[in-house]
Structure 1
């Protein structure tokens, strides 16, 4: 299965998502998008295929979002996309592309929605939350 993850190794959610993909026995194409950002066209396509608005795909925390005035509702999607390409830290992460779809994998287990391959074993996120049990089955959170 051909899978691409737009990854930030400094992000726990991104690391957990990558580990879940690998737990299915797949080595994805890993693109560190801070160093190698997607083109504007590719970014727009991923956002659309994920069913998001551009504003939903932008990261505010720990980025130049506020100082660039991007919280102004008058800023257009085109202007937001331009800012995201110019400042890749503004791209929320991780985006994952599989033949089954595109998702912004927040939380990391969202990747399982576009990854039909079985998990090879248990998986526990970095924070200790069990996502996949010893039978390779997704664990649902009790609410």
Structure 2
């Protein structure tokens, strides 16, 4: 069985709004980024390809996914070798020790819930939340 990408087929999208309306360029850019390189064209809807339904997000926004990166220190996963007893090496990821923590923000007179690494937590205890956030370029006033 071959895929659409190997056949070189064009993906034709049918707009299912009230009448024939033209898609905005921003919508087409969003769709092309979601389809990873497939061409988008408007035309007659006679192919089987038109039956493909795309996931719809409100306002054409992508879902927010929490990344495993500390916003304060910039630490992220490390590629490492897992070495067995027979010295056989396989690749593995060593993730950052991220914790959800409520930290008291003195300037805002409230707690701020943050997802930060344990290294960033030690740095905040040493230097203060305002200094670390300013150095990292993080605005704590946002919710």
Fold in common (TM above 0.5): no
Give the greater-gyration-radius structure (CA): 2
Greater relative contact order: 1 or 2 (C-alpha under 8 angstroms, separation 6 or more)? Answer: 1
- TM-score with structure 2 setting the length: 0.20
Q: Which has the higher strand share?
A: 2
Q: Which has the higher helix share?
A: 1
- TM-score with structure 1 setting the length: 0.20
